[in-house]
């Protein structure tokens, strides 16, 4: 039996929802209310697991020919996620201004690799201007406080 993407997705969702369902069995009922905190989650997780298993079963019983593979740049997607993950991770430590500057510069360079000094200048200028504009627009004019860095206090 060879599973397609649908089958694997069904399997993963079924496993996760059954695990969470098992966790709800440990929730204690409250005598003040007729239904406990686990009542609705059990319904939702039960229904989710049922749909996921149905998807798995459907995929196993109705195998589909695999679609033609498109040449997509997954490496770039991974790099984008990694840079964004680093940005989110760095935000509370180095603060909004520094991390945003580096994030914009890195993403811009990733998507449109600068080949000469002029290109790098463009990357840095875009990062600097965007960071300053966003920071001032939110902190000064829209009274939205942006994260300060624990390490930098900036």
Question: Does 152 help bind other proteins (rule: CB under 8 A)?
Answer: no
CB count, 10 Å around CB of 38? Answer: 17
Question: Does 128 help bind other proteins (rule: CB under 8 A)?
Answer: no
Name the burial class of residue 100, with classes exposed (0-12), middle (13-18) and buried (19+) by CB atoms within 10 angstroms of its CB. Answer: buried
Of residues 44-63, those binding other proteins (CB under 8 A): 44-45, 47-48, 51-52, 54-55, 58
For the chain, the straight-line distance linking the first and the last C-alpha, in angstroms and rounded, comes to 57
Residue 29 phi/psi, 5° resolution? -75, 155
Q: Which of 11, 18, 38, 90 contacts other proteins by CB under 8 A?
A: 38
Q: Which of 61, 72, 116, 117 contacts other proteins by CB under 8 A?
A: 72
Cβ at position 1, least distance to other proteins in Å: 18
CB count, 10 Å around CB of 65? Answer: 6
Q: Which of 3, 18, 60, 147 contacts other proteins by CB under 8 A?
A: 147
Q: Is residue 3 within 8 Å of residue 13, measured between CB atoms?
A: no
Cβ at position 30, least distance to other proteins in Å: 5
Cβ at position 51, least distance to other proteins in Å: 4
Angstrom CA distances, 40 to 24, 44, 45, 47, stand at 10, 6, 9, 11
Question: Does 22 help bind other proteins (rule: CB under 8 A)?
Answer: no
Question: Does 97 help bind other proteins (rule: CB under 8 A)?
Answer: no
């Amino acid at each position: 039996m060879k599973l397609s993407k649908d089958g694997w997705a069904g399997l993963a969702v079924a496993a996760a929802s059954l695990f969470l369902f098992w966790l709800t069995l440990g929730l204690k009922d409250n005598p003040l209310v007729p239904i406990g905190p686990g009542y609705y989650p059990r319904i939702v997780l039960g229904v989710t697991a049922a749909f996921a298993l149905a998807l798995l079963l459907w995929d196993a019983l109705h195998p589909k020919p695999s679609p033609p593979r498109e040449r997509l740049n997954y490496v770039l997607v991974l790099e984008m996620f990694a840079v964004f993950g680093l940005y989110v991770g760095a935000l509370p430590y180095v603060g909004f201004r520094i991390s945003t500057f580096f994030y914009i510069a890195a993403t811009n360079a990733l998507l449109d690799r600068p080949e000469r000094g002029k290109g790098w200048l463009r990357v840095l200028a875009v990062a600097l201007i965007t960071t300053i504009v966003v920071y001032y627009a939110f902190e000064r004019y829209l009274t939205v406080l942006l994260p300060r860095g624990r390490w930098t206090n900036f």
